[in-house]
A and B are shown apart, each in its own frame.
Chain A
Amino acid sequence: MLRPWLNSGALRCLGRPRHPSRPLLIHPTNLSSPRNLHATSDRIPLRKQLKQEAKSLKSQKKQRKENEEASRQTWELTVGVEIHAQLDTAAKLFSRAATSTSDAPNSNVALFDLAFPGSQPEFQAATLLPALRAAVALNCDIQRVSRFDRKHYFYQDQPAGYQITQYYEPFARNGYVDLYDYDGIAPEDGERVRIDIKQVQLEQDTAKSQEYPPSTQLIDFNRVSHPLIEIITMPQIHTPATAAACVRKLQSILQACGAVTTGMELGGLRADVNVSIRRRGEAPGHCQYDGISGLGQRTEIKNLSSFKAVEDAIIAEKNRQIRLLESGGVVEGETRGWTIGSTETRLLRGKEGAVDYRYMPDPDVPPLVIGDDVIAHLQQTLPTSPDALLVQLTGPEYGLSIEDAKPLIELDDGARLEYYQDVVDILCALHGDLDKASQVVLARMAGNWVLHELGGLLTKADRSWDAEIVPARSLAELINHLQLKKITGPTAKQVLAMIFEGDRRPVPQLLEEDNLLLRPLSREEYLTLAKSAIAQNPKMVEQIRSKNQLGKLGWFVGQMMRTGEKGRVEAPRAEEVLRELILQG
């Protein structure tokens, strides 16, 4: 059975629309006739062109979705994920040298990090804490005794010629991670899917090398021996979206429990995936991985550095394997790579080029013995998990939507959430006795202001998060004034911007001094303002009356706010008077 989409130009173009600087390339006709860019005779109006492009993109997406669904009906995809995450530790795994990501190159290296003759490893026990927190957060069995092994290969970023890892006896086994619909799993996975974690192991990072063709290679050994954990899931994932969701979820759990400092975007987390397919309804495949049998031959895709790359690479690799099998070919157990923006995985190492790592127990590193008391302590002091936080934020206490709760949890390593909770606490304290319903109103308002208003200012100014830019107390007082109708919404936004720019006066003083407190207008004053606006725009009044174009009322409200004394015109009251005069008059 031939599948026409597989060779269509449309699929090949899919990877391209991500380049906003080259929008003209999106349209297939533009690809084949570059004259269109300059020829005046058949120039397409920009608006029309944009519409066409959007339409074409939409149909491509639809086509792709249908194709994916068709292939899913025939083929079952199986994916396992391996995550490497840099632990948040002060020292390296086997030396007292400091970990750093920003220090001058090669400024944090001990003798052992450079594999100097005669130097020996010195295990830094403190690196265990973030590793154990991660293992506890991933529901693993912590092993009382674990050991370190050497994994051998020659590369300039590996000074000793081997990496110290935990191959035979890792420190944690048999965990799991739950993925929910709100984590972005594929619809066919339902509300929740549980992915088992085979093991978590401690290991060293490599050095960072930079190539300057043709012949210069620079190596920065600061990163060498930075402690990593490798998390290996069972091959239990069956859709690309769920694989990406799994990586995203693992990152958020690692960040929430304080195991790591940075995520994928800063290179603190890297993912490898293994991918196999088998035809549904046929005899099971002959391969077995991690105790799961009946699978097809798998390939491994190395070093994926974004969630999108995880999803895209799996789709591409799955389609490559389908194409291969449908044309009578055989999938080889090879290692493949992925370039962002590409549509095909590429061969890195064939099966015959497979590396024999010659794992050997490290004779210099003693076994790791972890006491039950340490594990118990970590279990008690582990921060609340992102899932539990989500339940809390969307529950009766805060009443946030999932769309607002998720970014609050995920932004700024939890700092935004902490700030948000501070604001709500202060707000509630300012109000004294509160029933549940009014508390939720305040919590939702605070959510909006912390995420959207303050977030908007941060984005506009291109500043990173700092809880001190707008102190939680200031924002709480501002929201409090707004909620009590002592200021208008526009005033509140204006004051927030002032504080954001550095105005450090206490909010009540600021409002007082700058004369921003709302002095309500009388009904007569509203009537005067409204009548004046109506008189100046009789045509629009007529349109509202005859065609019932109520949307235009808002325009009149704007007119009244502009002509009225600044900060005193309240929109709802202005509209009330306008309706009265225009519709009932």
Chain B
Amino acid sequence: MSLLREAEKCIANQQVHRGLNAFITPIPRAGQWLDRVKEADQRREQGNSKSPVDGRLIAIKDNICTRDLPTTCASGILDKFNSPFNATVVGQLEDAGAVVAGKTNLDEFGMGSNSIYSRFGPVKNVGRDGQEFSAGGSSGGSAVAVAAEQCYAALGTDTGGSVRLPAAYTGTVGFKPSYGLISRWGVVAYANSLDTVGIMGRTTSSVRDVLSILNRYDEHDPTSVSNSSRRRILSQITSRSISKPLRIGVPIEYNIAELSPLVRKAWLRSLADLQAQGHTIHPVSLPATKHALSAYYVLAPAEASSNLAKYDGVRYGTQSEDPTYSNTRGSGFGSEVQRRILLGTFSLSADAMDNYFIQAQRVRRLVQQDFNAVFNTTHPLAAINDRDAGHSKPGDVDVLVCPTVPSPPPLLSDLTSPSTGSSSSSLYAYVSDVFTVPASLAGLPAISVPVTLAESSPNSNNSDSDAGQVAGIQVIGQYGDDELVMQVGELLEGQRFSG
């Protein structure tokens, strides 16, 4: 199929599936992008494509700045905001020949796990029977755009699971790279120390193609990993010996009571499958995991309360009619953003700082040490950052394999119905991040790949037994082991397991 036909099909799907609300700003049916795809087709015919993504449509989450399309962050306070500059990742993709396929819907500023907290309405993840499920969040728009073939691949952001969780809910591949590999310049900050740009695709191989374009040092991002550190990471990766067969770690703390039968079965089948492929399975312990979620929900809102202090309507953004700070921020921010700003403001206040923020930072350090203790490679940057950590002898697994999320996607109607009060539903949403948050706290690479259980389950939301049920399986690796994580993801990706 020509690139042009593929692109036109994506655009047609954007029109057909408008009701899914995946895009806040789609691109017009006819536009300058057409010529660029045609040129890419010519280059491909002549065998000199600019890159693997030359002429491909890539959707961009609407908290990543684009000069040519609005950047709203799904917030009332930026509902008409046009950024004066392109994020580095957008420039990199365009230089590689890719075309921005529009700006995708999200939870406001990336805060949410179901993509329902958007000024532009919730994203819909429609099952085969027409029921509307959560698309996951916060990159739900990117996930649905990929799943419904409205683009070739999409960029999301992942702060605590915001790419992996929607991937698991929509049956797509969602990849969160090691912290600092992809530039954050132009990515609207939610919690800088955790924020990463993530990549979503229908296959790991498409994700890898996009990563190859974005995996570069950027001088504009002070947290971008420098070229010398990249060389250090690379030399460690190339010199290390990946176990043959692979040693797969299974974190026992992840086998929680709340795990749904479907997810537990998918996890077991995946491990059995890896074993059948000749790899070995090893239980490991990550004891700090049980505190990781609480630590995350202290640290991320704390940073958010600071990062979002800039939205006052004075220099840009939407100002309330009576332009006091409190009116502008009160009417511009949605309920979940307000909740997290208040949480963060509290945990940073002088009386709470020691008990919340400082404690959470300690937990974060413990989580990092947990991971360092189970992987058979040392953290390549730990030598300089963490000399005092004194972690004992390294562990013996190459990667960890676990579920991405404890349960299948909830129905949208359950999330928004008045019977489940908004506070209890947000608590439920926080719990869905329990498996994704640890890798975020430690800055590790992680991927969620879809596996299918062909058997129909008794409590199924999706009764079509032929299609089976999809669950997300997560692979987590040591810092810098992004490629290994993708390789293991590929071993499982698209596997169909019979009951």
Contact = CB atoms under 8 A, between A and B. Distances in A.
A315 B27 CA distance: 68
B325 interface: yes
Contacts of B353: 358-359
Contact of B315 (A121, A123, A150, A159): A159
B5 interface: no
Contact of A117 (B73, B222, B305): B73
A191 interface: no
Interface stretch (A48-56, A62-70, A360-368, A563-571): A360-368
A358 B193 CA distance: 17
A428 interface: no
Nearest to B193: A363
Nearest to A358: B348
Contact of A365 (B73, B83, B191, B222): B222
Interface string B75-108: 0001001011101000000000000000000000
A114 interface: yes
Contacts of A116: 83-85, 315-316
Contacts of A160: 309-310
A513 interface: no
A364 B303 CA distance: 11
A40 B389 CA distance: 90
Contacts of B87: 118
Interface in B220-237: 220-223
A156 B309 CA distance: 11
Contacts of B187: 118
**Size class of the A contact interface (CB-based, 8 Å):** 20 to 34
A360 B312 contact: no
Nearest to B185: A120
Question: Chain B's interface: helix, strand, loop or mixed, by majority?
Answer: loop
Contacts of B84: 111, 116
Contact of B83 (A118, A120, A154, A364): A118
B157 to A, nearest CB: 11
Q: Name which of A117, A121, A358 has the most chain B CB atoms within 10 A of its CB.
A: A117
Contacts, number: 95
Contacts of A358: 305-306, 345, 348-350, 353
Interface string A341-367: 000000000000000101110011110
A161 B325 CA distance: 11
Contact of B185 (A118, A152, A156, A365): A118
A159 B305 CA distance: 15
A356 B348 CA distance: 9
Contacts of A156: 312, 314
Contacts of B65: 117-118
B112 to A, nearest CB: 18
Given A116-B316, A161-B310, A363-B303, A111 B85 contact: yes
B302 interface: yes
B319 interface: no
Contact of B220 (A120, A154, A366): A120
Contacts of A111: 84-85
Contacts of A363: 191-193, 223, 303
Q: Name which of A219, A359, A363, A365 has the most chain B CB atoms within 10 A of its CB.
A: A363
A152 B341 CA distance: 13
Interface in A171-199: none
A5 B74 CA distance: 66
Nearest to A154: B325
A430 interface: no
A420 interface: no
A115 interface: yes
9 contacts: A111-B85, A114-B316, A117-B78, A118-B187, A152-B348, A359-B353, A360-B303, A360-B306, A364-B189
Given A111-B84, A120-B222, A122-B219, 16 more contacts: A117-B188, A117-B189, A117-B310, A117-B316, A118-B187, A120-B220, A152-B309, A159-B310, A161-B308, A219-B314, A360-B303, A360-B306, A360-B348, A363-B223, A363-B303, A364-B223
Interface of B: 64-65, 71, 73, 78, 81, 83-85, 87, 184-189, 191-193, 219-223, 302-303, 305-306, 308-310, 312, 314-316, 325, 345, 348-350, 353, 357
